[in-house]
Chain A
Amino acid sequence: MMILSGDPPKSRVLTLVLVLIILALVATPFLFPGAKALNVAAKICVFAALVASYDLLLGYTGSVSFAHTMFYGIGSYAIAIALYGMGPNWGAVATGIVVGLPLAALLALAIGLFSLRVAAIFFAMITLAVASAFQVLASQLSWLTGGEDGRSFQLPELLRPGTVLISKNLMGFEVNGRILTYYLVFAVSALMILALLRVVNSPFGRVLQAIRENRFRAEALGFRTVFHLSYANCIAALVAAGAGILNALWLRYAGPDTSLSFSIMLDILLMVVIGGMGTIYGAIIGATIFILAQNYLQALMGVAAKAASEAGLPLLPGLLHPDRWLLWLGLLFIASVYFFPTGVVGRLRNPGDKSAGGSH
């Protein structure tokens, strides 16, 4: 209970699903051999943390930010540039963290102070503009960021796949640097999610929810809403940058497509809404569903598209082409905002009540 900050999942089915997901993530290196399964699992961990931090903004304060990938990208690029420039050692990892996290927090503070004073809509539009400028900047400053190609780098000795920590024993498993990296990603993501859970269940988190419900009233009660919102924005940016660092460490690469692109922003939005806004747990569920679908449904769509084109149907092959899967996600997104505004977690917590839950 302590570790969940007094905010348990509050639903048997939900608890079961969460436990299953976490157990599966822990056991992935041993249960599902192969690089793809491990990649998917690591991506779920990273995105669960990233989406949880976005949930702090969207679900708990009700402000829509389109700059979340920017902070994610700052983390990724900080670690990538440090390791690329200083060589694969722990000093470089530390430098990346020490530079990346404060940079993200400062930028979040600047954006927050500048745009959170006015309506939520301003914040959404300004973050969109800043994020797109940052994206262009990252692809233009190629001497620093590697431009469109991004930066590939080497990890410190300990985390490389070639480093065998425990050689094949009786059980037939080998623990190498890659698996160690995976557990690093898993542990740090879990810590960040638990920290966010602590934040939203603190008195500070209650104030955020009060601001979401009625900003004017919260202000009348004597809370400095701009301060609270900016603070939440900074925390979310820090966690996003942390997730970016993990992502870069896992991929050994940082580039515009994996860390900055607008489509990642849309993915995050989808995961929050599908999982359930204002719950933190929704982030884990949303990330798991979405990334599993992304990795395994696309193959299915390819098969369906082929069948449709063989059957000679018009238009359908184009619509079912694996590259068009965002189309179906977009439809799903609209449908879930419309019919399930509280997401999977909200539905599981309050099965009968449509209107209850985090969002309004």
Chain B
Amino acid sequence: MTELAATDPLPKPKRDIAPILLPIAVALVMIPLIGSPSTWLTLTAASLAMGMMIFIMASGLTLVFGLMDVLNFGHGAFIAVGAYVATLVLAPFAASLQADSLWINLAVLAPAALLSMAVSGALGLIVERVLILPVYGQHLKQILMTTGGLIVAEQTLYAVWGPQIIPMPLPTSLRGSFILGDVAIAKYRGLATLIGLAVFIAIQLVLNRTKLGLLIRAGVENREMVEALGYRIRRLFLGVFMTGSALAGLGGVMWALYREQVHASMSDDLTVLIFIVVIIGGLGSIGGCFIGAILVAMIANYGGFLVPKLALVSNILLMVAILMWRPRGLYAVTSR
């Protein structure tokens, strides 16, 4: 070991860039396989958009697990609740959504998304207090409790909104595609990618540039030590949980618009997808979650184009492959 003088900067940990290169490598490998560059560009843009939406939904789950060792099997409920709440705003203002002006459309969409986030966040508060607080540190009971919560939430949605699928058409100005040469990129996908990137950058800034983020990151690595230093990690955790729930609600609205429909069972399908993303990324890691979401979306889009039959099991295969390479996910953050 070399001696370090007090004035020397701390040695920087080595950056682990292999996971970052992985999605880029996947995308490059796909160029010759797909053949047509314009198709490839369209598919890549589609995977980015889908990946961003999945990331928004999954980010809360991974942070909640990393920070407090709580695995919320009911995370999908926030997604569905978010989507349903958005219909409360979008349905009465359907006429404004049909108007051919981006600003009028956004003036309706933005409050809908904000309301969804507020309601999901508030629901997160209730869930944390009622379901998760009594069973801290008991994995088995956490899984059972939150699964029960998922059933109740889903059934309540059915009871209030009925079992039918609710259509959720895209606003007029977000329909259609940008045409660049012979490449078509759907406008809504562009918007989704922008929002996803914004959320990712915001989370990264908060985590890496603020004191709050410092505490959260410290809590993920060693909870007891943060508590011993006198910080109320319980309150911090509640904040993270509510933020995660609100983000899941936002993701739900975006996903519903992407699919142009709302149904309570969407929480089931998405829960599985999100779990796969969170496992691939490494439980507790935001960066891993981001890469994992893009990888899952890439496999879904490229795979769906090249071998549609394989699309059914491709996520599982991806997860198996990643875990063979790194058994604890792309970035192993927690020591658990």
In the docked arrangement, what's the CA distance between A125 and B282, Å? 13
Segment at the B interface, from A44-52, A126-134, A179-187, A245-253:
A126-134
Query: Contact: B327 with A315, CB < 8 Å?
Result: no
Q: Is B124's CB within 8 Å of the partner chain A?
A: no
Collect the chain A residues with CB atoms within 8 Å of residue B163's CB: 323
Q: Is B336's CB within 8 Å of the partner chain A?
A: yes
Collect the chain A residues with CB atoms within 8 Å of residue B158's CB: 323-324, 327
Collect the chain A residues with CB atoms within 8 Å of residue B328's CB: 118
Q: Is A140's CB within 8 Å of the partner chain B?
A: yes
Q: Give, as a whole number of angstroms, the nearest-CB distance from B258 to chain A.
A: 20
Q: Give, as a whole number of angstroms, the nearest-CB distance from B162 to chain A.
A: 8
Q: Is B156's CB within 8 Å of the partner chain A?
A: yes
Collect the chain B residues with CB atoms within 8 Å of residue A119's CB: 139, 336
B residues contacting A by CB (< 8 A) are: 65, 71, 73, 131, 134-135, 138-141, 143-145, 147-149, 151-152, 155-156, 158-160, 162-163, 268-269, 271-272, 275-276, 278-279, 283, 309, 312-313, 315-316, 319-320, 323, 327-328, 336
Query: Contact: B320 with A128, CB < 8 Å?
Result: no
Known: A121-B71, A122-B279, A137-B313. A333 touches B144 (CB 8 A): yes
| Residues of A39-93 whose CB lies within 8 A of B | 58, 62, 64
Query: Contact: B131 with A140, CB < 8 Å?
Result: no
Q: Give, as a whole number of angstroms, the nearest-CB distance from B311 to chain A.
A: 9
Query: Contact: A333 with B275, CB < 8 Å?
Result: no
8 interchain residue pairs of minimum CB distance: A327-B155, A330-B151, A334-B148, A330-B152, A333-B148, A318-B159, A125-B275, A132-B272
In the docked arrangement, what's the CA distance between A58 and B144, Å? 11
Query: Contact: B148 with A337, CB < 8 Å?
Result: yes
Q: Is A171's CB within 8 Å of the partner chain B?
A: no
Known contacts A318-B162, A323-B158, A338-B134; 16 additional CB pairs below 8 A are: A119-B139, A120-B139, A120-B140, A121-B71, A121-B139, A125-B71, A128-B272, A269-B144, A269-B147, A315-B159, A326-B155, A327-B152, A327-B159, A334-B131, A334-B149, A337-B144
Q: Give, as a whole number of angstroms, the nearest-CB distance from A39 to chain B.
A: 25
Q: Is A356's CB within 8 Å of the partner chain B?
A: no
Query: Contact: A118 with B155, CB < 8 Å?
Result: no
A residues contacting B by CB (< 8 A) are: 58, 62, 64, 114, 117-122, 124-126, 128-130, 132-133, 136-137, 140, 262, 266, 269, 273, 315, 318-319, 321, 323-324, 326-327, 329-331, 333-334, 337-338, 341, 359-360
Query: Contact: A133 with B312, CB < 8 Å?
Result: yes
Known: A117-B327, A341-B141. A129 touches B275 (CB 8 A): yes
Collect the chain B residues with CB atoms within 8 Å of residue A324's CB: 155, 158-159
Query: Contact: A318 with B160, CB < 8 Å?
Result: yes
Query: Contact: A359 with B152, CB < 8 Å?
Result: no
Collect the chain A residues with CB atoms within 8 Å of residue B323's CB: 114
Query: Contact: A338 with B312, CB < 8 Å?
Result: no
**Considering only CB atoms, which chain A residue lies closest to B275 in the complex?**
A125
Query: Contact: B313 with A360, CB < 8 Å?
Result: no
Collect the chain B residues with CB atoms within 8 Å of residue A128's CB: 271-272, 275
Query: Contact: B312 with A137, CB < 8 Å?
Result: yes
In the docked arrangement, what's the CA distance between A331 and B320, Å? 35
Collect the chain A residues with CB atoms within 8 Å of residue B268's CB: 262
Q: Give, as a whole number of angstroms, the nearest-CB distance from B141 to chain A.
A: 6
Residue from A64, A137, A331, A360 in contact with B143 in the complex, judged by beta carbons closer than 8 Å? A64
**Considering only CB atoms, which chain A residue lies closest to B265 in the complex?**
A262
Collect the chain B residues with CB atoms within 8 Å of residue A58's CB: 140
In the docked arrangement, what's the CA distance between A321 and B319, Å? 40
Query: Contact: A114 with B155, CB < 8 Å?
Result: no
Q: Give, as a whole number of angstroms, the nearest-CB distance from A38 to chain B.
A: 30
Collect the chain B residues with CB atoms within 8 Å of residue A359's CB: 140-141
Collect the chain B residues with CB atoms within 8 Å of residue A129's CB: 272, 275-276, 279, 315-316, 319
**Considering only CB atoms, which chain B residue lies closest to A59 in the complex?**
B140
Of the listed residues B71, B163, B328, B336, the one surrounded by the most CB atoms of chain A closer than 10 A to its CB is B71
A sample of 21 cross-chain residue pairs with beta-carbon separation below 8 angstroms, ordered by A number, consists of: A58-B140, A62-B140, A64-B140, A119-B139, A120-B139, A124-B71, A124-B73, A125-B71, A126-B319, A129-B315, A130-B316, A132-B269, A133-B316, A137-B313, A318-B159, A323-B163, A327-B158, A334-B145, A334-B152, A338-B145, A359-B141
**Considering only CB atoms, which chain A residue lies closest to B69 in the complex?**
A121
In the docked arrangement, what's the CA distance between A337 and B145, Å? 7
Residue from B73, B141, B312 in contact with A140 in the complex, judged by beta carbons closer than 8 Å? B312
**Considering only CB atoms, which chain B residue lies closest to A263 in the complex?**
B151
Query: Contact: B160 with A337, CB < 8 Å?
Result: no
Q: Give, as a whole number of angstroms, the nearest-CB distance from B325 to chain A.
A: 13
In the docked arrangement, what's the CA distance between A218 and B144, Å? 25
In the docked arrangement, what's the CA distance between A74 and B272, Å? 21
Collect the chain A residues with CB atoms within 8 Å of residue B143's CB: 64, 121, 124
Query: Contact: A337 with B141, CB < 8 Å?
Result: yes
Q: Give, as a whole number of angstroms, the nearest-CB distance from B238 to chain A.
A: 20
Collect the chain B residues with CB atoms within 8 Å of residue A337's CB: 135, 141, 144-145, 148
Q: Give, as a whole number of angstroms, the nearest-CB distance from A211 to chain B.
A: 13
Query: Contact: B327 with A125, CB < 8 Å?
Result: no
In the docked arrangement, what's the CA distance between A247 and B300, Å? 35
